[in-house]
């Protein structure tokens, strides 16, 4: 038998069969051998890799390999998944190299929060005060307009900071953004002063296509002096939403940023009545998350693993 298709359905013509959907269906549901089991476990990584090569944002809604394919939201739903996984998921996500996600939202209960906390602190108990503290913190932030469904990066930073497992390896001592009309176009320039945790300073400036882009460029330029891996981070998506249009120009805005370093994607969020501040909060979290994942925080992840050497 012969089946022709492409990874992610990408091709010069529309209607290409998506091998990332077709192969798991044939092998895991119908018993046909399409790939060795170990190669099937690399399918999600292959899907993301091809999207990156094509300079396309990975489709989170793809069956099997999409980031949302095994995502679960709301307290009762998550509790059911934990008790009877097979009632909610048609295959083990690991069979295609994907992972199960429990989405934090205003419907999330203690069970959801606990399951996410266990990724950071495996021995936490449901009755631990920390679980209630995190839930209270998330609830308070959501009342301010935050939503964490697509901002797992910000959520993880909050959790690790509350656990004492992370503190930012840099401090921004101040920034300034200048918007100037030059002849027939606007010019944006940002100046920023950053202190690294060993008390080294960097004071720099950068231009950009708008105030947020100028801030992003200046922040990266300053931090790359201390943390070269910041150069790996790409801003993949930038969304702005007005939370209450009835407030006019005083309305709160929510900024959601999606970033990638070629190996992982993460979302961060900021909320403020000032769009530059909201963008700034999301940008800062994006780069903090990268440094946290790289293990550059002074609270290294070896503490979590119990390695005190």
pLDDT digits (tens, 9 = 90+) for 118-172: 777 777 777 778 777 887 888 788 888 888 877 889 999 998 888 888 889 999 9
Q: Which residue from 3, 34, 35 is spatially nearest to 17, judged by alpha carbons?
A: 3
pTM tops 0.85, yes or no = no
**For position 284, what pLDDT does the model report?**
95
CA dist., res. 304 & res. 166, Å (int): 11
**For position 175, what pLDDT does the model report?**
93
**Of the CATH numbers 3.30.420, 3.90.550, 3.40.30, 3.30.160, which one belongs to the domain with range 170-226?**
3.30.160
**For position 150, what pLDDT does the model report?**
78
- Cα angle 59-62-63, degrees, rounded to a multiple of 5: 165
What is the pairing mode between strands 234-242 and 201-208? unpaired
pLDDT digits (tens, 9 = 90+) for 235-294: 988 999 888 756 666 789 999 999 999 888 899 999 999 999 999 999 999 999 999 988
Out of 15-19, 161-165, 182-186, which region has the weakest mean confidence (pLDDT)? Answer: 182-186
Give the domain ranges of the chain. Answer: 7-53, 170-226
Q: What is the mean pLDDT of the chain?
A: 85
CA dist., res. 173 & res. 156, Å (int): 24
Q: How confident is the model at residue 178 (pLDDT cuts 50, 70, 90)?
A: very high
End-to-end CA distance of the chain: 56
Instruction: Give the whole-number percent of the chain exceeding pLDDT 70.
Output: 88
Question: Among positive and negative, which fits the CA dihedral 145, 164, 232, 48?
Answer: negative
């Amino acid at each position: 038998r012969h089946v022709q298709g492409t990874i992610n359905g990408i091709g010069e013509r529309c209607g290409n069969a998506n091998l990332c959907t077709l192969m798991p269906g044939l092998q895991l549901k119908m018993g046909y051998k399409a790939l060795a089991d170990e190669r099937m476990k690399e399918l999600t990584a292959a899907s993301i890799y091809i999207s990156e090569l094509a300079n396309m944002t990975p489709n989170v809604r793809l069956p099997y390999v999409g980031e949302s394919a095994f995502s679960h939201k709301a307290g009762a739903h998550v509790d059911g998944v934990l008790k009877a996984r097979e009632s909610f998921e048609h295959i083990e996500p690991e069979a295609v190299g994907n992972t199960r996600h429990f989405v934090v939202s205003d419907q999330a209960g203690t069970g959801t929060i606990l399951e996410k906390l266990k990724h950071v602190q495996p021995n936490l108990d449901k009755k631990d005060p920390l679980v209630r503290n995190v839930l209270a913190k998330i609830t308070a932030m959501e009342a301010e307009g935050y939503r964490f469904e697509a901002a797992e990066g910000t959520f993880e930073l909050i959790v690790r900071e509350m656990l004492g497992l992370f503190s930012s390896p840099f401090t921004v001592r101040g920034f300034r953004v200048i918007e100037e009309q030059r002849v027939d176009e606007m010019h944006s320039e940002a100046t920023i002063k950053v202190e690294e945790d060993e008390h080294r300073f960097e004071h720099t400036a950068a231009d950009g296509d708008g105030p947020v882009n100028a801030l992003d460029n200046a922040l990266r330029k300053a931090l790359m002096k201390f943390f070269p891996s910041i150069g790996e981070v790409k801003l993949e998506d930038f969304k702005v939403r007005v939370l209450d249009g009835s407030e006019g120009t005083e309305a709160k805005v929510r900024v959601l940023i999606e970033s990638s370093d070629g190996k992982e994607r993460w979302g961060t969020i900021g909320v403020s009545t000032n769009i530059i501040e909201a963008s700034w909060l999301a940008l800062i979290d994006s780069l903090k998350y990268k440094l946290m994942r790289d293990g550059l925080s002074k609270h290294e992840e070896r503490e979590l693993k119990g390695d005190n050497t």
